[in-house]
Amino acid sequence: MSVRLPSAAWYAGQVEKEHKWLPKLAPYLPLPIPVPLAMGQPDKTYPWQWSIYRWFEGENATIENISDVQEFATTLAQFLAALQRVDSSGGPPPGEHNFYRGGSLSVYDDETRKSIITLRNDIDREAVTEVWEAAINTKWRRKPVWLHGDFAAGNLLIKEGQLCAVIDFGCSGVGDPACDLTVAWTFLSRASREAFRKTLVLDDATWARARGWALWKALITLVDADRNRHP
């Protein structure tokens, strides 16, 4: 078994959300996901609810432990496509519980533009601004769909070279799935990215927003790194 304890108050609401929704999502997905076994209650030694899950064998995804990265990319896309097909009625909309994943990128517009200014000597400011504005000037125009919210290598488990499970749905919700596509840039390379995109049939505007999510994350990571170098 595994135990998950929120490390801060803003993560605490994710516990009840996972207990409610993961058992409903699991039967429709092509790969195992965590299904809560029990919920712990706060007491004088720990202030928030916490969870117990069945343990999954596997390692966090790396390029080195994947047998075929293009096949892996296709499997990723198939998982997301299945997740997006699940009935989203009543699902949790974007908000503080998932850092607005699935919502509008405009939430991070000010932070992104300040980051661009901070990094102006290290990046192509004009090109980066163009990518960002292309992202925020579009929006999801279809019914909200389920999204994982943190679809990154650390939440993808590999066993014997194959993707065997997807974990950590703390940032899940219903809305625009663009944030889940950032793995195309944060982990995949050109050929595997193309396999991923070919399998997920989404419009160009959604991919533009996905690139915006990836850009936002890259910029704030670079700003943090720069601050650590020059405290």
Q: Where are the beta strands (DSSP E) in the chain?
A: 2-4, 36-40, 50-53, 59-60, 145-147, 156-159, 162-166, 173-175
With bands split at pLDDT 50, 70 and 90, how would you rate the model's confidence at 230?
Answer: low
Reply yes or no on whether the pLDDT at 37 is more than 70: yes
Q: Can you give the residue ranges of every domain in the chain?
A: 59-104+139-200
- How confident is the model at residue 225, as a pLDDT? 86
- How confident is the model at residue 228, as a pLDDT? 74
Arithmetic mean of pLDDT, 146-161? 98
Multiple choice CATH, 59-104+139-200, 3.40.50.300, 3.90.1200.10, 3.90.1580.10, 3.30.9.10: 3.90.1200.10
pLDDT tens column, 170-189: 999 999 999 999 999 999 99
Q: How many CB atoms lie within 10 A of CB 92?
A: 19
